[in-house]
Amino acid sequence: MRIATWNVNSVRQRLAPLLAFLKETAPDVLCLQELKCEEGAFPRLEVEDAGYNVVLHGQKTFNGVAILSRHPIEETIVGLPGFDGEGQSRYIEAVVSDGAGEILRVASIYAPNGNPPETPKYAYKLAFMAALTEHARALLRLEETTVLAGDYNIIPEDRDVHDPAAWAGDALFLPQSRAAWRRLTNLGYTDALRAVSDAAGLYTFWDYQAGAWQKNKGIRIDHLLLSPQAADRLSRVEIVKAARAGEKPSDHVPVFADLA
């Protein structure tokens, strides 16, 4: 099973790269974030023609998350349990067959950015992470193969950013944000990338401004968190960095994990 996550930064603008990714990488499940469209505007026909079932939680102009699956989708949870999203579409969860008679639970997550940190946006970010942590705790009790995938808008460590000093005051890198990340992972979830590599300089986002891509001034904020049952099956993780060099790219790139 290949599970991927990608903040497409407008699915309608990235339809061609999305279809190319589905064809070339063939994920069994793809979690999308920042759709920036309501359900009626989602390119469902094109995605279904590519061989994928779709569930989504859309929102006009902002946010929006989806799960695409080559396998049947048996159950869906729309919205983060225990959290008042104030109309923001940031969480969707689904149960799919893994093709071998077992189930896989997957969530597509678009956590709040939180900037500027001195505004209510940061309190909203931390409240979202607290609710996510509590729900993630409950999911562990199911003892299922679970993947919590998405754009967490958190840089976990210094090695996940090109210049830690430059991001010291940013909501993505504040100590409270990183502490929220640790509370989540300390429940028993495995950061898929860090299970296979300790290397610095592995980024998933490069801003459109100031030549960030050309200068490799990136950050790692797109993550796949694995339950113990999923971590036991992990065989490979890849950041599809080449996607950032394509025509009209998203500022994020896909990340996928293979589960044996």
Q: Mark whether 110 is an active-site residue.
A: yes
Class of domain 2-259: alpha beta
Q: What is the pLDDT of residue 136?
A: 98
Mean pLDDT of 136-164: 98
In angstroms, how far is CA 200 from the centroid of its own chain? Answer: 20
Question: Domain residues of the chain, as ranges?
Answer: 2-259
Q: What is the pLDDT of residues 153-211, one digit of tens each?
A: 999 999 999 999 999 999 999 999 999 999 999 999 999 999 999 999 999 999 999 89
Question: Residue 203 — φ and ψ, nearest 5°?
Answer: -115, 160
Q: What is the pLDDT of residue 152?
A: 98
Mean pLDDT of 84-111: 92
Query: 187 in the Ramachandran plot: left (φ > 0), alpha (ψ -120 to 50) or beta?
Result: alpha
In angstroms, how far is CA 68 from the centroid of its own chain? Answer: 13
Instruction: Give the pLDDT band of residue 101 (cuts 50, 70, 90).
Output: confident
Please state the pTM of the whole predicted model: 0.97
Could you say which of 28, 151, 160, 222 is catalytic?
151
Q: What is the pLDDT of residue 234?
A: 98
Mean pLDDT of 30-43: 98
Q: What is the pLDDT of residues 43-76, one digit of tens each?
A: 999 999 999 999 999 999 999 999 999 999 999 9
Closest among 167, 184, 67, 168 to 128, alpha carbons compared: 184
Q: Mark whether 252 is an active-site residue.
A: yes
Q: Which residues are part of a known binding site for Mg(2+)? A: 7, 34, 151, 153, 251-252
Could you say which of 28, 52, 91, 110 is catalytic?
110
